[in-house]
Structure 1
Amino acid sequence: MMNPAWLRSFTTLAAEGTFTRAAETLELTQAAVSQHIRQLEAQLGPLLIRRPRGVELTPAGHALLAYGEEVARAERCLASRLSNADALDGVVSIITPGSVGLSTYPKLLDIQRETPGLVVRHRFAPEEDVLQAVLDNRFDIGIVSRRPDDERLAIERFCEEALELVIPADAEVSDWEDLLRLGFIDHPDGQSMATRLLARRFPGKRLGEVPVTGFTNQIALILEPVARGLGFSVLPRHARRAFARQEAIRVLDADRAIVETLWLIHRAEWELPRRARHVVDELHVRLAKD
């Protein structure tokens, strides 16, 4: 790694043109600046042509100057990002299961519109991918339905969601055998959600007994095959409400929804930036109104 003090002396000398002016700018002695340049030339070869009225850069000197300018830009960028930690403007990245995103993403867009300079980056993903993306520091915030047990994560209760068993509007379902005849429409989080709901609704029965009659990873289309009579599915209430053709579907035992907690996660080693905390707090408020 290049010695930062030597590099600073070189770029200053290139800008000022003489050792005298460079030393004054750096508040060093000329001997110190000369020593820095000699150290660099010992590593990189001749960098300067010393002339009576100033210095001229060799090709190697021009290459080092370009490198020094890149380092300076990177330092300015880092300083800007660090100083921006308490600002509301900047990027906030959030990753959620698709069913959660259906309710949160429109609210995220509202928050962005109301907060000048804020940029929201959102991604839909299965829960396992949400967890890994936050652990890998690829996203600031994640939302999951199962509370993780990982000391690297800060975990807080976010909100509650109701899981619903959704069937075709004209289907007659009164027992487990009727569900077996219908079949299951799966989705990226379908196995997990259906297992949790069915275990409570039909104790002793297993989702593995039910034939899978469809699968889609397009969250907005999960209920389309249900609406066409091809099977049942299990989704959060807000995902079901987002489906356009409500007349073609029905919630089985609508008064017996299974309510679960959603958890917000982020890396525990550092606090969320102010803009990310602002987004989380605003989401809390807006989801509470639903």
Structure 2
Amino acid sequence: MLMLNPLWLRSFHALVEQGSFTRAADQLELTQAAVSQHVQKLEAELGALFIRRPRQLELTPAGHALVDYLGERAEVDQRLKLRLAGDRDDHGEISLMTPGSIGLALYPRLLELQKRSPGLCIRHRFGPTQDIIDAVLAARVEMGLVIECPDDPRLTVSEFATEPLELIVPAAVKVERWDDLMSLGFIDHPDGKALASRLLSRRFPGSPGYAHWPISGFTNQIGLILAPVAEGLGFTVLPRFARQAFEQQASLRVVTGQPEVADTLYLIHRAEWPLSSRAERALLVMGTAADAEAGRSAGGHA
């Protein structure tokens, strides 16, 4: 494994910042010869780092790579400090992964929490269930929300919220028959086939399967899936939280009906240690947000 002397790296960083050996030496309170020697030792390990011209230093590709490495290492060091910041609820890192739909609803609330406590750092990623489970087990995140209940003794699992699926059409469209949907066409997305098949097979028994639907569009960005629906270009099926996070609510219609199809969201974290105080505080905000979204009226939809 490559081990680079911190003193050499410090001299390299100062030289990049200052642009000259003289200024770098002054900043570090070293001699120019010492700074030059440190850089030479790095170059013996990594190859040429600078192109030296009169009164000018230019980074080589190896030099740019080392600058990037130092930046990444600084980020990792900062994350470590945040994760080891003691059990305070107003300081340190809150790390979680969620499905995109619930994440759209929760993330703004978490940012409000961070605004109230600037010592917090919110690290939130979207991902599918298995990726979330893997990240929690590997301690890359402290907690996650998943739509399947995992059976792993290393995890503590609890129910977090219920997320109904919704059939969403343009606001001006009324859906009374299967043909009404087919005349619109389906706006597909990565979970489109699975979600739509689950809901529509129950709402319209005996209807043709996904392979026979006209497709009017596709996007893999969850925040954009409803944009073509709002423009009158098709219908789609999404979890309710994803629809409620969309800004142009007046351009959408939720087609209600029976039976309702819903997913249970499960909170998971490692069983071996309790959640940090800051994670518990975030959960209070997240639970309030989920309750607020779930309780919002679907008035005006048909």
What TM bracket, shorter-length normalisation? 0.5 to 0.7
The alpha carbon displacement at 1:214 in A equals 1.8
Deviation digits for residues 198-235 of structure 1, max 9, x if unmatched? 24323455434424332212222111111233321112
Indicate if the aligned counterparts of 1:179 and 1:210 stay in contact, CA closer than 8 A.
no
Q: Which runs of 5+ in 2 are unaligned?
A: 1-78, 294-302
Q: Which stretch of the first structure deviates more once superposed, 154-163 or 191-200?
A: 191-200
Distance (Å, rounded) in 1 between the aligned partners of 2:82 and 2:172: 60
The alpha carbon displacement at 1:90 in A equals 0.7
Name the residue aligned to 2:132. Answer: 130
Indicate if the aligned counterparts of 1:193 and 1:235 stay in contact, CA closer than 8 A.
yes
Indicate if the aligned counterparts of 1:180 and 1:209 stay in contact, CA closer than 8 A.
no
Name the residue aligned to 1:84. Answer: 86
2:268 counterpart letter in structure 1: I
Name the residue aligned to 1:13. Answer: none
Name the residue aligned to 1:177. Answer: 179
Name the residue aligned to 1:142. Answer: 144
Counterpart secondary structure, 2:86: helix
Counterpart secondary structure, 1:84: coil
Name the residue aligned to 1:264. Answer: 267
1:241 aligns with 2:244: yes
Instruction: Pick closer, same or farther for the CA change 1:268–1:257 going to 2, 3 Å.
Output: same
Indicate if the aligned counterparts of 1:126 and 1:188 stay in contact, CA closer than 8 A.
no
Q: Which runs of 5+ in 1 are unaligned?
A: 1-76
User: 4+ residue runs of structure 1 moved beyond 4 angstroms?
Assistant: 77-83, 254-257
Q: Which stretch of the first structure deviates more once superposed, 219-228 or 141-150?
A: 141-150
Distance (Å, rounded) in 1 between the aligned partners of 2:217 and 2:80: 49
Name the residue aligned to 1:15. Answer: none
Distance (Å, rounded) in 2 between the aligned partners of 1:124 and 1:281: 20
Name the residue aligned to 1:95. Answer: 97
With normalisation by structure 1, the TM-score equals: 0.63
Instruction: Pick closer, same or farther for the CA change 1:231–1:160 going to 2, 3 Å.
Output: same
Instruction: Pick closer, same or farther for the CA change 1:258–1:186 going to 2, 3 Å.
Output: same
Name the residue aligned to 1:232. Answer: 235
Distance (Å, rounded) in 2 between the aligned partners of 1:116 and 1:80: 12
2:97 counterpart letter in structure 1: I
Deviation digits for residues 161-194 of structure 1, max 9, x if unmatched? 2321001223342233333333321223333332
Structure with greater Cα Rg? 1
Distance (Å, rounded) in 2 between the aligned partners of 1:215 and 1:80: 39
Q: Which stretch of the first structure deviates more once superposed, 216-225 or 173-182?
A: 173-182
Distance (Å, rounded) in 2 between the aligned partners of 1:277 and 1:137: 17
Indicate if the aligned counterparts of 2:168 and 2:236 stay in contact, CA closer than 8 A.
yes
Name the residue aligned to 1:217. Answer: 220
Q: Which stretch of the first structure deviates more once superposed, 82-91 or 244-253?
A: 82-91
Q: Which stretch of the first structure deviates more once superposed, 198-207 or 275-284?
A: 198-207
Name the residue aligned to 1:67. Answer: none
Distance (Å, rounded) in 2 between the aligned partners of 1:112 and 1:239: 22
Instruction: Pick closer, same or farther for the CA change 1:229–1:155 going to 2, 3 Å.
Output: same
Indicate if the aligned counterparts of 1:198 and 1:207 stay in contact, CA closer than 8 A.
no
